[in-house]
Chains A and B, each alone.
Chain A
Amino acid sequence: SQELEQSPQSLIVQEGKNLTINCTSSKTLYGLYWYKQKYGEGLIFLMMLQKGGEEKSHEKITAKLDEKKQQSSLHITASQPSHAGIYLCGADEGYGGSQGNLIFGKGTKLSVKP
């Protein structure tokens, strides 16, 4: 079965600094999803990537899917305390016909120091 490995596991950055979180898949990705979670709460959808080489941005967050579709990166520019939380990447295993079955990485815990 597919596995997603995220790095780093945790990250502490000074406010205003840039940072990158990586997500590597053991298999080709059919779809890659980035979510953010505040501790003990539900997940908030950030972005979805499906095509090799695709890049999407929302406010100060940019996500890319590499050409081989086995790795994605999430980049935050000029981090703010509001960016703090746990970032999770999720993957569609490509079986089709299922909207809710995603495999998730274990998450990257981001802390932003004011």
Chain B
Amino acid sequence: KAGVTQTPRYLIKTRGQQVTLSCSPISGHRSVSWYQQTPGQGLQFLFEYFSETQRNKGNFPGRFSGRQFSNSRSEMNVSTLELGDSALYLCASSLLAGGPPGELFFGEGSRLTVL
């Protein structure tokens, strides 16, 4: 069974540009979450999607957005990039549809560098 796949793995952008990251969850998983990981702030929750609906959102500015498609694949977009957006962006999928969180399956991440 294929794991969570994130593309691209590495990318370099300049300030002011925008970026789109993609995540394909494990087959059958309908919940997809996104996290930002930086050395200073650690791992922070961005948002979660379930059945194409945003179910939860972290404390990030509106420049960060996402969506989920009918096949559960998800994309996140960051517009007007800032230097501080340089980070490892991790996607996680979950099999559960309700109840408390269970095991999250993480992808290897997309490392974004903003120059």
Contacts and interface: CB of A to CB of B under 8 A. Distances in A.
A106 B39 CA distance: 9
B21 interface: no
Interface string A15-51: 0000000000000001101010000111111001010
A43 B99 CA distance: 22
Contacts, number: 84
Interface string B37-60: 000001111001010000110100
Q: Interface majority SS on B: helix, strand, loop or mixed?
A: strand
B42 A98 contact: no
Interface residues on A, range: 20 to 34
Q: Interface majority SS on A: helix, strand, loop or mixed?
A: loop
Contact of A103 (B45, B104, B105): B45
A33 B101 CA distance: 9
Interface of B: 4, 31-33, 35, 42-45, 48, 50, 55-56, 58, 88, 90, 92, 94, 96-109, 111
Given A42-B108, A45-B103, A99-B31, 5 more contacts: A31-B101, A42-B90, A48-B103, A97-B55, A99-B99
